Amino acid sequence: MKIVIVGGVAGGATTAARLRRLDEKAEIIMIDRGYHISFANCGLPYYVGDVIKNKEELLLQTPESFNKRFDVDVRIREEVEKIEPNEKKIIIKKLETGEVYEESYEKLVLSPGAEPINPFKNLKTEKIKTLRTVEDAIGIKEYIINNSIKNVTIIGGGYIGVEMAENLRNYPDLNITIVQKGTHLINPLDEDMACFVHKKLKERKINLILNNGVKNIEEKEKLKITLEDGELDTDFVILCIGVKAETELAKNCGLEVTNKGILVNEYMQTSNKDIYALGDAVVVKNSITENSVYTPLAGPANRQARVVANNIVGKLTTYEGVIGSSILKIFDYDLAMTGLNEKNCKELEIEYKTIIVSPNSHAGYYPGARLLTIKALYNKKDGKILGAQVWGKEGVDKVCDILGTVIKMKMTAYDLEKLELCYAPPFSSAKSPVNILGNSIVNQMDGLVNNITWKEVDELVKSKEYCVLDVRTDGEYERGAYKDCIHIPLDEIRNRLEELDENKTYLVYCRTGLRSYIACRILLQNGFKVENITGGYYFYSVLN
């Protein structure tokens, strides 16, 4: 069998390697217009920031090493210009010489990836760059160093934009600004959880311009950026607006394509059964909603590659879709997310509820325990976990990976309570953060308490029927509290019930939500109306 793969990196190179392991006799050709067929594109910001010192460390395989190990005919600096599906052939151009030639195939795999969005292509300048390839990373790093740059503006506050800001902070004299059109950084995050990111970046002297898009850039002595509201001068711009699937090749040969990417079925086949597509170029289904989504991440691309290779050799395998699990480092903290966010749930009219818990990453009595903040979304009707966002210094990946698995397996909060997870004091608690999350949701589901958010509190306290009750210690209260609240420490509540009004509803908070839950149980069983403020004062202090 003769298989031609267009594009390398996570999608194409992984497909080629899997194909060879399954079929030693297949003729496999991989064509890539770049210089490198397998490089760590997720590591590029860390090379710019000099965390990865040597650019060779980004190269996972060279064309020569890949050929030697997998017996794949690797052709770099060549571009497929046209696909002729009826004749099962492609037209290829050698970029170094301009020579054009034809190549036949039995099965064709499209892994062209995605290109960075650049609305300012007409402005020919070295002062505006995007980040996609090793050459891009080298160019950004060299330009900043060689030109003694003082001010860098990152346009776009997604994963790459935030990672770039963190890594550029390694240049201590650099003034760094992120401009984001939306109201908060990291679009898949909910706005309240994004406050942790904003606070951390501001602590590291990174300027944030939010809810303010870029209208135009002009090159004068410096770059003049015209915003929707205001102006900004800078020495250098890195565009991190997002990426757009490269679909022209597929579209021009008649394959079904949307404005987001190439359409594929569960076997990763395009509308032509002999042409497969994968990676950043395709649209796949969301495992939770069954809707079509565009999710340009390396993990899904690698799993799709295995599915493609399996199906080409007749090992029937389906791709079950994505839930959008991701993680990034933000200085000394980690941020992870999986599944749906509030915006998704509202758009899809899913009846959901949120809960925020802040347990320790491991046993509190063992040195080094760190506070985790976990926000989970769950279905109000059956307790099925829909999404989660996790912030902290330790254990973030572990917790989010567990919750991603829970979502993938369509499990509920009742299942979270029952999970048996590893425990020893240096690693977790006897009741793990995930168990605690499950307990908290089940308490709500079973009617033991009703949890509300700080956003709801701000609305409710406008009515005289509601009053905020702080049950923290005297010392905690003196260091800061919610405005106009009543303060009764938890351990004194039973003896001070006469100070409370049975006609009011008390909105109760502590530091993270555990003591306030205990207070709610005491008050409920003594005839009072109460709501537990999820996230506690710790979360409130970040929001404000």
Q: Nearest 10 degrees: CA dihedral of 217, 218, 219, 224?
A: -70
Query: Tokens at residue 456, please?
Result: 């709801």
CB 4 within 8 A of CB 103: yes
The 262-263 sheet, strands edge to edge: 262-263, 282-285, 292-293
Tokens 């590893």 sit on residue? 422
Non-local (6+) Cβ contacts of 65 within 8 A are none
Closest to 186 (Cα-Cα) out of 156, 154, 165: 156
Closest to 13 (Cα-Cα) out of 78, 83, 62: 62
Distance CA 15, CA 20 (A): 9
Closest to 47 (Cα-Cα) out of 37, 36, 58, 39: 58
Catalytic residue among 195, 485, 510, 520: 510
Closest to 449 (Cα-Cα) out of 521, 502, 506: 521
CB 253 within 8 A of CB 84: yes
Based on the residue annotation, tell me whether 485 is a catalytic residue of this protein: no
Distance CA 167, CA 357 (A): 30
Burial class from Cβ neighbours inside 10 Å (0-12, 13-18, 19+) for residue 519 reads buried
CB 5 within 8 A of CB 83: no
In 205-268, which ranges are continuous DSSP H helix?
248-252
Residues in the chain: 544
Query: Which are the catalytic amino acids?
Result: 510
